[in-house]
């Protein structure tokens, strides 16, 4: 989210590859060439791995080529501590195997970048993760011979947002990267989702970095391997929705609902039943925006949700990055 909200028109598309895939499937049929998908589910935690392997697949999906892991936990908003611990553990395992897949080595230096604004609750995920992450780089710099085995050099920054700093996050990160030369960037960001029920219940891991919007006049740069010269893993959690996507999504749910009851949904929903989803979203936006109704919204309980998810990600990262941290009891670590 971070900077992008200030200066750029969000695309009609979602930030989640999973949702992009759902939309593409709805339009293009069940299999998308060059896009592989694998799903695991275990006691309330669903893991979907999507690999976008070809340019053609990327184009259909509207997503950059790369590997996407989505962890969905519909019950995550219920304050169940046990479930939170299991999610942190799952996240740590998935993230650790992602590191292996990308060829990241045990002692490779990691810089965690917490994007977003710590004063705007739904945008504070990145800074909150930074605060709760175990950093070790300074021990390697100052007293290298005293660092125990099983730890790697990890550092973490929260660069702030354009409206507060006057500097693109990506410029700040580039400056720091050139100075401290990490081997890997992990960027944490809050996302927009198309579905309110995914907000604060879903974590996406992707090896594609952070891509800025592509609108006209957008001079800002992202956090990608191309720009930074090192791999960049993005961790994203949807924390907000556009009102228009809530409306559009609700109409879609009504369609599905009535299809189970009648074979004439057109009678109920009129033209809304027929036009493609993206056109319908455009229509909704066209109506809502001029009236100031297309606000970005977040659940009322966001203060608590965002803290819980930040703790899950921070403790998961601590376990995934440091061999010495127990990967089977991740939750115990962070307070």
* Site residues (CB under 8 A) for its own copies, limited to 118-137: 118-123, 130-131, 135-137
The verdict on 287 binding its own copies (CB under 8 A) reads yes
The binder of its own copies chosen from 40, 55, 141, 279 (CB under 8 A):
141
Nearer to its own copies, 29 or 166 (CB): 166
Rounded distance between C-alpha atoms, residue 235 and residue 288, angstroms: 31
- Choose which of 54, 297, 323, 326 interacts with its own copies (CB under 8 A): 297
Cβ closer to its own copies: 115 or 195?
A: 195
**Which tokens belong to 222?**
């992202």
Nearest one of 316, 61, 3, 318 to 208, comparing CA atoms: 61
Name the packing angle between helices 277-288 and 17-28 (round to 10°): 120
Rounded least distance, CB 227 to its own copies, Å: 12
User: Which residue of 179, 214, 216, 328 would you call a contact of its own copies, by CB under 8 A?
Assistant: 179
Report d(CA 291, CA 280) in Å as an integer: 18
How near is the Cβ of 72 to its own copies at its closest, in Å? 12
Among 211, 296, 323, 327, binds its own copies (CB under 8 A): 296
DSSP conformational letter for 217: T
| Residue among 76, 67, 62, 65 nearest 15 (CA) | 62
- For 43, 55, 141, 273, 322, the CA distances from 155, given in Å and listed in that order, are 34, 34, 11, 51, 13
Query: Tokens at residue 82, please?
Result: 């046990």
Q: Could you give the string, one character per residue 46-85, with x where binding to its own copies holds by CB under 8 A and - elsewhere?
A: ----------------------------x------x----
Q: Shortest approach of its own copies to residue 154 CB, angstroms?
A: 6
Q: How far is the CB of 123 from its own copies (least distance, A)?
A: 7
Q: Of 46 and 65, which has the nearer Cβ to its own copies?
A: 46
Residues 205-244 that bind its own copies (CB under 8 A): 217, 219, 240-241, 243-244
The Cα–Cα gap between 220 and 254 comes to 39
Query: Least distance (Å) from its own copies to the CB of residue 76?
Result: 11
- Site mask, its own copies, residues 146-175, x = CB under 8 A? -------xxxxxxxx-xxxxxxx--xx-xx
Buried b (16+ CB within 10 A) or exposed e, 247-272: bbbebbeebeebeeeeeebeeeeeeb
- Cα–Cα dist 159/263, whole Å: 53
Q: Which of 29, 103, 144, 292 binds its own copies (CB under 8 A)?
A: 292
Q: Which of 11, 26, 303, 329 binds its own copies (CB under 8 A)?
A: 303
Is 53 or 80 the residue whose CB approaches its own copies more closely?
80
* DSSP state string for 229-265: SS-EEEEEEEEEEEHHHHHHHHHHHHHHHHHTT-S-H
Size, binding site for its own copies by CB under 8 A: 87
Residue among 284, 309, 314, 330 that touches its own copies (CB under 8 A): 284
Q: Which is nearer to its own copies, 52 or 130 (CB)?
A: 130
Q: Is the dihedral of CA 236, 242, 246, 252 positive or negative?
A: negative
Radius of gyration of the chain (CA): 20
Q: Which two tokens stand for residue 29?
A: 């049929």
Using CB under 8 A, which of the segments 57-65, 93-101, 283-291, 314-322 binds its own copies? 283-291
Site for its own copies in 245-264 (CB under 8 A): 246-247, 249-251, 253-254, 257
């Amino acid at each position: 989210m971070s900077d992008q909200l200030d200066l750029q028109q969000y695309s009609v598309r979602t930030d989640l590859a999973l949702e992009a895939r759902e939309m593409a499937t709805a339009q293009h049929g069940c299999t998308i060439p060059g896009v592989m998908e694998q799903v695991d589910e275990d006691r309330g935690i669903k893991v979907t791995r999507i690999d976008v392997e070809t340019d053609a697949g990327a184009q259909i999906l509207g997503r950059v080529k790369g590997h996407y892991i989505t962890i969905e936990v519909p019950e995550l908003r219920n304050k169940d501590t046990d479930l939170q611990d299991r999610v942190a553990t799952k996240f740590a395992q998935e993230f650790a195997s992602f590191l292996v897949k990308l060829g990241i080595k045990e002692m490779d230096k990691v810089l965690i970048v917490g994007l977003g604004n710590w004063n705007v609750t739904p945008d504070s995920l990145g800074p909150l993760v930074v605060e709760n992450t175990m950093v070790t780089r300074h021990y390697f710099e100052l007293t290298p011979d005293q660092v125990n085995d099983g730890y790697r050099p990890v550092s973490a920054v929260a660069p702030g947002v354009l409206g507060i700093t006057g500097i693109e996050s990506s410029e700040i990160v580039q400056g720091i990267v050139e100075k401290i030369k990490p081997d890997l960037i992990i960027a944490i960001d809050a996302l927009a989702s198309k579905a309110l029920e995914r907000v604060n219940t879903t974590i996406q891991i992707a090896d594609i970095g952070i891509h800025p919007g592509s609108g006209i006049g957008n001079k800002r740069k992202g956090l990608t391997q191309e720009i930074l010269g090192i791999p960049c893993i993005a961790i994203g959690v949807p924390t907000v929705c556009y009102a228009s996507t809530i409306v559009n999504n609700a109409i879609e749910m009504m369609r599905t609902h009535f299809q189970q009851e009648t074979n004439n949904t057109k009678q109920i929903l009129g033209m809304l039943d027929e036009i493609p989803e993206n056109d319908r979203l455009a229509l909704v936006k066209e109506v809502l925006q001029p009236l100031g109704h297309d606000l970005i919204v977040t659940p009322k309980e966001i203060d608590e949700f965002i803290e819980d998810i930040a703790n899950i990600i921070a403790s998961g990262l601590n376990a995934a990055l440091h061999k010495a941290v127990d990967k089977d009891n991740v939750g115990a670590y962070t307070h």
